A and B are shown apart, each in its own frame.
Chain A
Amino acid sequence: MTQPHRATLPRVVLAAAAAAIFLISAPAYPSGFQVMSQGAKATGMGLAFSGIADDPSAIFYNPAGMGWQKHFSVYGDLQFLTRTSTEFNGANPYPGNGVVEHIQDQWFVLPDLYAVVPLTQELNFGLGIFAPYGLGVRWDNPETWSGRFISQNAVIKSIDLNPTFSYQLFPSLAIAAGADVRFSKVQLEQIQGAVNPFTGAFENVAKVKLNTDMIDNTGWGWNVGLMFKPFDALSIGAAYRSKINVKYDGTAEFIQRLTGNPAFDAAVAAQLPTGTPPVQTEIDFPASINIGAGIHLGSGWTIGLEADWTEWSRFASLDIVFPTLVGHDVHRPTLWSDSWAYRVGIEKTFGEWAIRAGYYYDNTPQPTFDTGPILPDNDRNVYSLGVGYGTERFGLDVGALLIKFKDRTVPPPLQTDQFFGTYSETALVLVGGLRMAF
Chain B
Amino acid sequence: MTKTRAQILSIAGASALALTISVQGQTPPTFHKFVGVGDSLIIGEESLCVVERFQQRSWVTIVASLLGQSDFQQPFIQEQTATSPLTGYPCLGATFDGTSISVGIVSQAGANQNSSLGRPYDNLGFNGSPHIRDFFDLKVTVPGRSDLDNHAAPILRNFAGGPFEGMSAIDQANSLGPDLLGFWGGNNDALDALGAGVAIEGVTLTPVPVFTENYNEAMADVSVAGRTVVAFNIPGINDLPFATTIPPIVVDPVTRQPVIVDGHVVPLLGPGDDAFPCNPAPPCGLPAGSVVTLAASPLLSQGIGIPAALGGTGLPLPHGTFTPPATLTPGVVLYPDDIAAIDDHIAGYNAAIAAATSANGVVLVDAHALFEQVTANGFRMGGLTLTTAFLTGGIFSYDGVHPSAIGYGILADEFVKAVNAAKGTSIPRPNFSPILFTPNVPSVPAPAVHDGGLWGYSLESWREWLGSIALPGGIQIQMPEESRNRGRATRVLTRSVGD
Contacts and interface: CB of A to CB of B under 8 A. Distances in A.
Interface of A: 92-97, 99, 146-150, 190, 193-203, 263-264, 267, 316-317, 331, 333, 335, 369, 373, 412-414, 416-419
Contacts of B94: 197-198
B383 A95 contact: no
Given A93-B413, A263-B101, A317-B2, A199 B439 contact: yes
Interface stretch (B121-129, B355-363, B427-435): B427-435
A128 to B, nearest CB: 33
Contacts of B429: 92-93, 412
Nearest to A261: B96
Contact of A201 (B12, B96, B101, B436): B436
Contact of B440 (A200, A267, A418): A200
Contacts of A416: 380
B394 A202 contact: yes
Contacts of A203: 437
B287 interface: no
B406 interface: yes
B84 interface: no
Contacts of B93: 198
Instruction: Determine chain A's interface SS by DSSP, over half rule.
Output: loop
B441 A331 contact: no
6 closest A-B pairs by beta carbon, nearest first, are: A149-B383, A199-B439, A96-B431, A150-B383, A200-B440, A94-B382
Interface string B368-392: 0000000000001111101000011
A200 B382 contact: no
Contact of B436 (A147, A148, A202, A267): A202
Given A93-B432, A317-B1, A202 B384 contact: yes
8 contacts: A92-B432, A94-B436, A96-B432, A198-B101, A200-B439, A317-B2, A369-B9, A413-B417
Contacts of A150: 382-383
B384 A149 contact: yes
A201 B384 CA distance: 12
B397 interface: yes
Nearest to A200: B440
B441 A199 contact: yes
A414 B9 CA distance: 8
B264 interface: no
A214 B432 CA distance: 39
A373 B413 CA distance: 23
Contacts of B381: 93-94, 418
Interface string B432-462: 1110111111000000000000000000000
Contact of A263 (B2, B96, B384, B392): B96
A203 B406 CA distance: 13
A146 B382 contact: yes
B294 interface: no
A146 B2 contact: no
A93 B434 CA distance: 10
B6 interface: yes
A92 B392 contact: no
A374 to B, nearest CB: 10
B348 interface: no
A197 B392 contact: yes
Nearest to B379: A418
Contacts of A96: 431-434
Contacts of B2: 316-317, 333, 335
Contact of B380 (A95, A194, A333, A418): A418
Interface in B75-113: 93-94, 96, 101
A197 B93 CA distance: 9
A4 to B, nearest CB: 50
B390 to A, nearest CB: 9
B438 A201 contact: yes
Contact of A99 (B391, B433, B439, B440): B433
Nearest to A190: B383
Contacts of B437: 201-203
B392 to A, nearest CB: 6
Contacts of A419: 382-383
B405 A200 contact: yes
Nearest to B66: A92
A196 B439 CA distance: 9
B404 interface: yes
A117 B404 CA distance: 70
B393 interface: yes
B92 to A, nearest CB: 11
A335 B5 contact: yes
Most buried by A among B9, B431, B434: B431
Most buried by B among A93, A97, A146, A373: A93
Interface string B317-334: 000000000000000000
B101 A197 contact: yes
A333 B9 CA distance: 12
Contacts of B417: 413
Contacts of B432: 92-96
A317 B1 CA distance: 10
B380 A417 contact: yes
A196 B392 CA distance: 7
Nearest to A99: B433
Contact of B441 (A190, A193, A198): A198
Given A195-B393, A200-B404, A417-B382, 7 more contacts: A96-B431, A197-B94, A197-B391, A198-B96, A202-B437, A373-B383, A419-B383
A24 B276 CA distance: 68
Nearest to B428: A92
Given A92-B430, A317-B2, A201 B439 contact: yes
Given A92-B429, A146-B433, A195 B392 contact: yes
Given A150-B383, A195-B392, A92 B431 contact: yes
Most buried by A among B2, B397, B404, B417: B2
A422 to B, nearest CB: 16
A264 B437 CA distance: 16
A392 to B, nearest CB: 52
Nearest to B4: A333
A189 to B, nearest CB: 13
A419 B6 CA distance: 20
B400 to A, nearest CB: 13
A414 B441 CA distance: 33
Interface string B21-55: 00000000000000000000000000000000000
